[in-house]
Each structure stands twice: as structure tokens, then as C-alpha cells.
Amino acid sequence: MGQPTAITDDQFESEVINSSTPVLVDFWAEWCGPCKAVAPTLVELAGDYDGRLKVVKVDVDENREAATRFGIRSIPSLLIFKDGAEVDRIIGALPKQQLAEKIDGHL
């Protein structure tokens, strides 16, 4: 079963930009309430899309480079990457159904 994987700035290129599979990147922080609220949904989505979508988490407090590179100003910010490019951006904790609709549009 798929699980969101925590990655660092150093892993961003290999895990996201160079991924052959579309990637949902969750920019989050430990102190962020809405981030914690959306976390169980991301676990479910990682399972639902296992093998078709990679789900990774980037802690913005520990990995400022990636957050700065993609202009993350509020969290949670969920970015969808396909073929190394950002194709969608979701700000805030949306319900699972809305997230799934966004994801489906890029698979």
C-alpha cells in the first residue's frame, strides 16, 4: 500500500523532477493545523493511486530551498508534477473527492 514519503531538498530533484510517475508534493509543517487535517487524506490517496501517483511530503521548516523555489507562501500547498513540471497547485486542505478530481485530470 502506498504511503506518503518524506523527502528533503536534496532528494527533490530525483524524487519529483526526475520521476517517471506523476508526483503529488505536500508542502507542510509540524505546527500547521490544516496540514495535519489533510494528512490522513493524503495517506488514503497514496493507497488509492499506488503505482500511478507518487505522494511525497516536504517539511517547509527543514527544507526551505524547495519551498522557496516553488514560491510556497501558505501551507498546506499541494503541487502536482508531471514529467518534471508543475501542472497543478492546490492551496489549503480540500476534501478527498476534490483532490482526487484534480489528480485524475493529470493521470
DSSP secondary structure, 71-92, as one string: T--SSSEEEEEETTEEEEEEES
In percent, how much of the chain has pLDDT > 90?
A: 97
Among the options 7, 25, 32, 67, which is catalytic?
32
- Side chain identity at residue 5, one-letter code: T
- 88: annotated active-site residue: no
Write the pLDDT tens digit of every residue in 16-61: 999 999 999 999 999 999 999 999 999 999 999 999 999 999 999 9
pTM of the model: 0.96
pLDDT value of residue 2:
76
32 in active site: yes
- Catalytic entry in 23, 35, 75, 99: 35
Three cell numbers written together for 92: 489549503
pLDDT (average), residues 95-103: 97
Query: How far is 68 from 70, CA to CA, in rounded Å?
Result: 5
Asked if residue 1 has pLDDT above 70, the reply is: no
Contacts of 50 (CB under 8 A, 6+ apart): 1, 2
